[in-house]
Amino acid sequence: MVEIKDRDLNRAVENFEEMIEALAGYRDTLTALRARYESEGRDPATYARVIANNLRRLDRLENQLNGETYDLLRDLLDGTGVLGSVDEGSWI
């Protein structure tokens, strides 16, 4: 990957990566919560739908981030690399 010299763009990339990691952590939390509720014998009517809905929402968000959003970020980085070459006078 190209070196990101712009502070704001660097922050955007770091936040994107952190968001992906955080969503994976939240998935683990939801899965553990469901297992705990099951082991405690709680009535699934009180939690199952909410957890399932959040897992589906999480899937949708992850798919969006790993799809079009990732592609746009990658294209932005490519453009930054081209601008870096132009600045250095090495663009052909």
| Residue 43 maps to a domain | yes
Question: Which domain, by its residues, includes 60?
Answer: 7-88
Structure tokens at 19: 């968001």
Q: How many domains does the chain have?
A: 1
From CA 13, how far away is CA 91, in angstroms rounded? 24
Dump pLDDT digits (tens) for 2-57. Answer: 577 888 988 999 999 999 999 999 999 999 999 999 999 999 999 999 999 999 99
> What are the tokens at 39?
């082991």
**Band (1; pLDDT cuts 50, 70, 90):** very low
pTM reported for the whole predicted model: 0.78
Residue 31 lies in a domain: yes
Q: What is the DSSP secondary structure assignment for residue 44, as one 8-state letter?
A: G
Whether 2 maps to a domain, the answer reads no
